[in-house]
Structure formats: C-alpha cells, structure tokens
Amino acid sequence: MTITAAADGSALGNPGPAGWSWYIDDEHWAAGGWPRGTNNMGELKAVLELFRATAGTDDDLLVLCDSQYVINSVTQWMPGWKRKGWRKADGKPVLNVELLQDLDEALAGRRYRFQWVKGHVGHELNEAADERARAAATAHQRGAAVPAGPGFGGTPAATPAPERRPFAPTASLFDLDPPARAHRVTVELNPEEWERLQRRAQREGRSPEEQLRALATDAS
C-alpha cells in the first residue's frame, strides 16, 4: 500500500511565528511550530515529522509538497551537501542543516517519492496541511496552545506551546549574595536551539525554563 500525505509549512513574517503540518486525513495528521522560524523550516519539519510518524509502517510514502526547496533538497542537493560536509558549492554552510541532517536520517531505508503540487489552488490535502500549519503559527503568535492533531497512531505527535511560567528563583548561577534577589534573564534561541532544549528537558522530565536553570546551576 501507499500512504499519501501532504506536508506544508507557514511563517507569519518569515521569519516570524512559524508552523508545520502533515495531513493524511482527519484521523491522521499532526502540527507544531516555533515562536520564530522561517517558511522553509516549517516545510522541512513537516516532512521530517511525517517520516518519523510513519516509521513503523512498511508502506510506501507519497509526499505531496508545494515547496520546490524541500523536494530539490531531498532529491537533488542533499547528496552533494553531504559529500562537502554539509556545505554548498560556494563553501558556505547549508541553511537549516540540523533539520536536513535529521531528515536524511529519517529517509534511510524508506520507500518514498515526492510530488509537487501547486499551493493555494484548492488541492484538498495541501489545503488541509496549509490550514493546520497556519493555525500552529498563529497559536505561537498569540502564545496559545498549538492544535497538535491525533498523529499517525492516535497519539499526538506534537506538544502544545510551553506554558509561560513566572520566574521562580532557585539556588543557581543567578543568585546574588547578599542580598538574594531574583533577576529576570532573557535568552534568545533560534528555532533549532529551542527544539534541542525542549528535547533535553523532556528527557529529564523538566520544563524548558527548569532546564535552563539546571544548566546555569551546572555552570556555577
């Protein structure tokens, strides 16, 4: 059998609040995003999460994309980038390299093909994926929970946007002696750094904020 799915990304501002989504049908789809990202990042992430979600199947995968960037990256450019150490022909680093490396790993051993579809012309699957990617980007723009979808096997494949908790001081690098007083610190992370922080925090059973404080404590 062949699984047919659309994958799409969205960015409000490009860069700006960004979302991604893959869609098979109303019972099989997922979405997520970042507070700040690009449309190309959303497009790549949608395909990556589609391959991850369907990794346990033995079916062929037909991926419908309206992004020539994604299709060309996978089918034409990636082998050359890998030979050059993930650098382009001009020697400059490849953009979105971590997403591309994760995608390269997810593709290994899979049977798949990509098909380009024109966006915003009423293609049912593409429109469904686009709608959900924009909803995820809008949720990040508003600081709301992201509609994550049921995933492929009935378990949501993405988590809601992390809750913004008030700063609660703990014994850490940020303490002053004396007097002890909490200081609010703003850390700007790009979308790939934020995703790595989330993964590490989830592995250790912490929120991203708690993980940052733990890192600060380790550094003291």
| CATH code for the domain of 105 | 3.30.420.10
Our answer to whether residue 177 is catalytic in this structure is no
In a domain, 155, yes or no: no
Whether residues 18 and 55 fall in one domain: yes
Note the pTM of the prediction, 2 decimals.
0.71
Our answer to whether residue 25 is catalytic in this structure is no
- 207: containing domain: 162-220
Whether residues 135 and 175 fall in one domain: no
Our answer to whether residue 66 is catalytic in this structure is yes
Our answer to whether residue 9 is catalytic in this structure is yes
User: Which phi and psi angles does 71 have, rounded to 5°?
Assistant: -60, -45
Whether residues 35 and 124 fall in one domain: yes
Cis status of the peptide bond prior to 79, with omega within 30 of 0: no
Q: What is the pLDDT of residue 215?
A: 67
pLDDT surpasses 60 at 162: no
Catalytic residue among 19, 33, 42, 130: 130
Q: What is the pLDDT of residue 16?
A: 95
Cα angle: 44, vertex 136, 54; to 5 degrees: 50
Q: What is the mean pLDDT of the chain?
A: 82
pLDDT range class, residue 39, cuts 50, 70, 90? very high
Whether residues 138 and 182 fall in one domain: no
Out of 48-57, 130-139, 164-173, least confident range: 164-173
Domains contained in the chain, number: 2
Our answer to whether residue 183 is catalytic in this structure is no
Q: What is the pLDDT of residue 174?
A: 36
Our answer to whether residue 90 is catalytic in this structure is no
- Determine the average pLDDT of the residues in 35-52: 97
